[in-house]
């Protein structure tokens, strides 16, 4: 049986940062992935391709201040494909330079030191002397409603050479989470008649209500139907009927396409039940050192369900690597509160840390300060004079959270996240000479209002 110090199940963002770090420190590492390539679902069908589409449409929206511009959607898809190809090649190169190995196959855990891989060429077993990292990610959740198989998933839009190369005239998007709302906003800008159908009383229901209420009026035109569970999808010639609503309030709409965007679920490798690795439907249970109940088996990224985002997976992966290097005695911990989250609607909304709804639940008294983006030079240059930066602190003015809606939100939030992560105060932010003309200036302007 081949032996390695560390084996990763999966080769996405939750696996390869650890693999690179461990390799550099002299550990032997084997990555196993069903796809046989590094980078996981983020590059295959997630963050990178969706942003390649959304950013292009955002640029189009900005150009429309000067004329009646349009782009053929198939050209946007070509651009998206080329970005994915560039990154696959880059990752191949990085893998070669690091001298790391990936095996294409499906991994199953046999015991706390053995992994079995099934592939086209048969089945082999590998031994790990130090640790196993389970980084098997997540997949789109498809609910058991009649006709669910008729709906697209994000993979149909964003995988390489995707099924969808031409946009429909109308679409029903089932689910008002971030993936649904991001897709709704870019499609609306491209002229698609969009209806978002959400089961709960509000869209983006896991996020701070006051923040979401500020974003919604800024989004492109779309019909949002809340408190509307979908009952079934039916095909009618080239059209689809989506039937939704509660008992006694049933409705139906006819659309050219349906997108299922009701969330993602963890993918567990086989063997975790036999080995007694604790998990529930949200993910594998871990401590903040990323260890499962078996101390040399780690679970990082989407598979633990804590913060299913690429950059959180990357940080968790490095936490696991550091703890493996310390012989599985934790020296590094993951802090979920300092992970920023950006919703790539057009405009964007980004947030981090403790926001008012959570502060109230936790009984934390907070102070807040803001900067209105209409006053921002870069927003004026970009013709995007709306939204705000809002920062929350504890009573001693230590930054505990914040959000940004509008121009450059996904960039600006990182500085607030750094403040949360490092326990900085409003004074620290106020004293920073932020560049002009950049949206970041709004941070010290907001900080100076209170400090
Ligand atoms: P994360 O961001 O947490 O790394 P991803 O979903 O991007 O998650 O990546 C997970 C990767 O794990 C995917 O490339 C998937 O093909 C792979 N994978 C899932 N289950 C297994 C398994 N049992 N064996 C090998 N690879 C797996």
The three-state DSSP-derived secondary structure of 340-357 is: CEEECCCCCEEEEECCHH
CA of 352 to the centre of ligand 1 (A): 26
Question: Residue 247 has what pLDDT?
Answer: 82
Nearest by Cα to 182 from 43, 349, 379, 308: 349
CA of 338 to the centre of ligand 1 (A): 24
All CATH 3.30.390.30 domain ranges in the chain, comma separated: 347-450
Q: Best mutation site among 16, 32, 33 for ligand 1, i.e. most ligand atoms within 8 A of its Cβ?
A: 33
CA of 136 to the centre of ligand 1 (A): 3
Paired strand residues for 139: 265
The protein residue whose alpha carbon is closest to atom 6 in ligand 1 is: 137
Which superfamily, per CATH, for 142-262? Answer: FAD/NAD(P)-binding domain (3.50.50.60)
Pocket of ligand 1 from Cβ distances under 6 Å: 9-15, 32-35, 40-42, 106-107, 135-138, 267, 269, 301-303, 310, 313
The answer to whether 168 touches 256, Cβ cutoff 8 Å, is yes
User: Which atom of ligand 1 has the smallest separation from the CA of 300?
Assistant: 3
Q: Best mutation site among 31, 42, 136 for ligand 1, i.e. most ligand atoms within 8 A of its Cβ?
A: 136
CA of 295 to the centre of ligand 1 (A): 21
User: Which atom of ligand 1 has the smallest separation from the CA of 107?
Assistant: 24
Q: Which three-class secondary structure state does DSSP give residue 299?
A: strand
The protein residue whose alpha carbon is closest to atom 11 in ligand 1 is: 10
**Domain 347-450 CATH assignment equals 3.30.390.30:** yes
The answer to whether 154 touches 261, Cβ cutoff 8 Å, is yes
Q: What is the CATH number of domain 2-139+265-336?
A: 3.50.50.60
The answer to whether 249 touches 231, Cβ cutoff 8 Å, is no
CA of 289 to the centre of ligand 1 (A): 20
Which stretches of the chain score pLDDT less than 70? none
Question: Residue 40 has what pLDDT?
Answer: 94
All CATH 3.50.50.60 domain ranges in the chain, comma separated: 2-139+265-336, 142-262
Any residues with CB less than 8 A from the CB of 360 and at least 6 apart, and which?
none
Question: Residue 213 has what pLDDT?
Answer: 98
CA of 77 to the centre of ligand 1 (A): 24
Nearest by Cα to 228 from 173, 164, 155, 161: 173
């Amino acid at each position: 049986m081949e032996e390695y110090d560390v084996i990763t199940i999966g080769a996405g963002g939750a696996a390869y940062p650890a693999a690179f770090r461990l390799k550099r420190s002299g550990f032997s590492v084997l990555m196993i992935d069903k796809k046989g390539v590094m980078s996981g679902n983020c590059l295959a069908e997630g963050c990178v391709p969706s942003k390649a589409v959304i950013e292009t449409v955002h640029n189009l929206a900005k150009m429309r201040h000067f004329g009646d511009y349009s782009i053929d959607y198939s050209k946007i898809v070509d651009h998206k494909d080329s970005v994915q190809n560039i990154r696959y090649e880059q990752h191949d190169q990085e893998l070669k330079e690091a001298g790391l190995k990936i095996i294409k196959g499906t991994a199953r855990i046999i015991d706390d030191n053995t992994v079995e891989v099934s592939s086209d060429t048969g089945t082999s077993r590998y031994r790990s002397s130090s640790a196993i990292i389970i980084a098997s990610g997540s997949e789109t959740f498809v609910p058991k409603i009649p006709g669910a198989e008729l709906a697209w998933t994000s993979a149909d839009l964003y995988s390489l050479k995707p099924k969808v190369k031409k946009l429909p005239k109308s679409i029903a998007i089932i689910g008002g989470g971030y993936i649904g709302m991001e897709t709704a906003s870019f499609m609306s800008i491209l002229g698609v008649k969009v209806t978002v159908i959400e089961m709960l009383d509000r869209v983006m229901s896991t996020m701070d209500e006051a923040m979401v209420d500020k974003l919604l009026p800024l989004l492109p035109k779309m019909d949002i139907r809340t408190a509307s569970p979908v009952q079934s999808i039916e095909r009618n010639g080239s059209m689809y009927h989506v039937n939704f609503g509660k008992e006694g309030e049933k409705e139906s709409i006819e659309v050219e396409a349906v997108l299922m965007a009701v969330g993602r679920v963890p993918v567990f490798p086989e063997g975790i039940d036999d080995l007694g690795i604790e998990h529930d439907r949200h993910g594998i249970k871990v401590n903040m050192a990323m260890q499962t109940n078996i101390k040399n088996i780690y679970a990082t990224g989407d598979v633990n369900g804590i913060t299913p985002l690429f950059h959180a997976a990357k940080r968790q992966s490095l936490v696991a690597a550091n703890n493996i290097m310390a012989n599985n005695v934790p020296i590094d911990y993951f802090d979920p509160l300092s992970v920023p989250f950006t919703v790539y609607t057009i405009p964007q909304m980004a947030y981090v840390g403790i926001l008012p709804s959570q502060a109230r639940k936790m009984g934390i008294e907070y102070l807040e300060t803001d900067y209105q983006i209409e006053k921002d030079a870069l927003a004026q240059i970009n013709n995007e004079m709306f939204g705000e930066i809002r920062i929350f602190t504890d009573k001693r003015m230590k930054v505990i959270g914040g959000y940004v809606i509008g121009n450059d939100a996904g960039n600006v939030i990182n500085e607030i996240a750094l403040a949360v992560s490092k326990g900085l105060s409003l004074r620290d932010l106020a004293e920073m000479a932020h560049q002009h003309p950049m949206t970041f200036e709004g941070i010290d302007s907001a900080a100076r209002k209170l400090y």
